[in-house]
Amino acid sequence: MRLTTASIAFLSLFHLSAGQPRHRHVHRHRPHRTIITKRDKITITDSTRSTTTEIPEVVVYVDQDNNTIRTATEQVVYVPVSVDTSKKPATPVSTEATISGLLTTPTPPPIVPSVPATDQQTSFSKPASSVNTYPASSNLPDPPTTPTPISNHSALHGVTYSPYKGNGGCKTADEVDADFALIAKDYGVIRLYGVDCDQVAKAYAAAKNYGNKLFLGIFDINSIDQAVSTMATGLDHDWSMVDTVSVGNELVNNGGATVSQSLGALTEARFRLRDAGYQGPVVVVDTFVAVLAHPELCDQSDYCAVNVHPFFDPNTGADQAGQFVTSTVTKIRSKMSDSSKRIVVTETGWPWQGQSNGAAVPGMDQQSTALSSIKSAYVENAGDVILFTAFNDLWKKPVAGTFMAEQFWGMGGRYSPSDQ
């Protein structure tokens, strides 16, 4: 099937989230990803264009029933009807199912931490054929039968936090404490994404001062043992401060790991964490697009952890953000083997500056409207949503694929004191 002649349905894609774990500029983050062999370019005839245009886009392959088969970032070449496309390569056919349609949306680059020059974090380079070999057997610790609640913080929403200055450097312990002083009273759980910059120890000290819980993250699934050791040391082995530990962030969605690799890493991390004394929930975090296609990511996690960003759906306005999140969660629940299992939205929010994405318009008023909509949707279970993000992330690089908004998702447009 050639895309230059096929009928293509440009349906609304819920998008894959702006997500964090993150660190530094996007172009410096590439070493953290598995090397994926690039496919041939996809060519589409577009009568609205006068010149040939090539851009990266997220392509969602669906079967004849419009069920998602997989997602991939492809180079899409739009050519005007006057251009001869007879020599353009044919679209590679999926080996998983017959492709009868495509969903496309502007591609947000993976927004994950690049390693600063002062850090020693190992880059992510798991080969595509590598699979963890930790079996689900009786000699491994069992996951908790019920997720650990957020204790007295269950009445408060969570928020994501990155310990990086606008210039890309690591924040000091005092700077992290100053950040917590501004946000602690409004949020119960503070979500981190990795262990670099000594962030666990710094956040732990601040969380003890202000009474927060921590949602910790293992970013590099090649270094699970090292990450767990760093966590234990940074916490002084006080796991009572930890609400959840995540394994990866959007790795399946972004091609950084296969489903098998993510689940293998989950099993390994749970084993290492139990051995270190942590008995709370361990989860894989991915986008809702990936989770809808692979609900086993939720089924095997101690609860379902998913990133949902309504801003990246061009048909969703700020006042509809809460409805978008809850309807997405309902779809996920219908795919899970246990529909009663807890689902936590681990990233959602709205930018206050950037370019418009159809009906999704950034702005201070729009952010306030979107956040109010999301909070209203979760008024009875505030602990099941983590907002994105505590402060503006000036260390990120603005890119067209995410509507030049990556730096401006701070709650209320707030800047960290270290960036003022």
* CATH number, domain with residue 206: 3.20.20.80
> By residue range, what is the domain housing residue 78?
38-106
Give the DSSP H/E element, type plus range, for residue 75: strand 68-79
Pair (77, 167) in one structural domain: no
Pair (209, 304) in one structural domain: yes
Pair (165, 238) in one structural domain: yes
CA distances, 211 to each of 4, 153, 214, 355 (Å): 58, 9, 10, 37
Residue 133 lies in a domain: no
> How does DSSP assign 181-241, residue by residue?
HHHGGG-SEEE---SGGGHHHHHHHHHHHHT-EEEEEE--TT-HHHHHHHHHHHTTT-GGG
pLDDT at 68: 54
Given 106, 131, 163, which residue is the final one in a domain? 106
Pair (202, 327) in one structural domain: yes
Give the span between the Cα atoms of 398 and 12, in whole angstroms: 23
Q: Indicate the SS3 state at residue 55.
A: strand
Single-letter code of the amino acid located at 51: T
Residue 140 lies in a domain: no
**Who contacts 95 (Cβ-Cβ below 8 Å, separation ≥6)?**
none
**Predicted TM-score (pTM) of this structure:** 0.69
pLDDT at 154: 63
Q: Other C-beta atoms within 10 Å of 229: how many?
A: 14
Residue 179 lies in a domain: yes
Given 46, 79, 106, which residue is the final one in a domain? 106
Strand partners, 357: 360
Q: Indicate the SS3 state at residue 62.
A: strand
pLDDT at 35: 29
Residue 142 lies in a domain: no
pLDDT at 26: 30
Per-residue pLDDT tens listing for the chain (420 residues): 433 333 333 334 444 444 443 333 232 232 232 323 333 456 565 556 566 666 666 565 555 455 555 555 555 655 554 444 333 333 332 222 222 232 333 333 333 333 333 333 322 222 232 333 333 333 454 544 444 443 445 689 999 999 999 999 999 999 999 999 999 999 999 999 999 999 999 999 999 999 999 999 999 999 999 999 999 999 999 999 999 999 999 999 999 999 999 999 999 999 999 999 999 999 999 999 999 999 999 999 999 999 999 999 999 999 999 999 999 999 999 999 999 999 999 999 999 999 999 999 999 999 999 999 999 999 999 999 999 999 999 999 999 999 999 999 999 999 999 998
Residue 73 lies in a domain: yes
Residue 310 lies in a domain: yes
How many structural domains is the chain composed of? Answer: 2
Positions annotated as catalytic residues are 347
Pair (80, 183) in one structural domain: no
Give the span between the Cα atoms of 26 and 41, in whole angstroms: 22
